Structure 1
């Protein structure tokens, strides 16, 4: 296997893993299971808010 083939497979694998992660995040945001994480805007710019965890 050539380095180019390995790089292409690694790139495809990374793209699939990122897509899967974003799909899970989207589902969690939709169904409310994201632990308080919200995607909003501030001054017209996207903002991801994450609540502080209590110790």
Structure 2
């Protein structure tokens, strides 16, 4: 006879899987934020500075 799985055991297994998923997501999150930060920095700040310097040079 197969012993039935108790709901508490299933909830515990689901909680462990969810916690591991959160840990992996949090370990990946800093790289995600830094990549977006550098993308917006290079795409937004540097072209604006080069454009303003070119505008001042042409004036």
TM-score (structure 2 length as normaliser) = 0.49
1:1-55 alignment, distance < 5 Å: 1-26=5-30, 28=31, 32-33=34-35, 35-36=36-37
Q: Where in structure 1 do 4 or more consecutive aligned residues deviate above 6 Å? A: none
5+ long unaligned stretches in structure 2: 39-59
CA RMSD in angstroms, aligned pairs only: 2.3
Higher helix share: 2
Higher RCO (CA 8 Å, separation ≥ 6 residues): 1
Q: What is the number of equivalent residue pairs in this alignment?
A: 34
Q: Which structure 1 residue ranges, 5 or more long, are not aligned?
A: 38-55
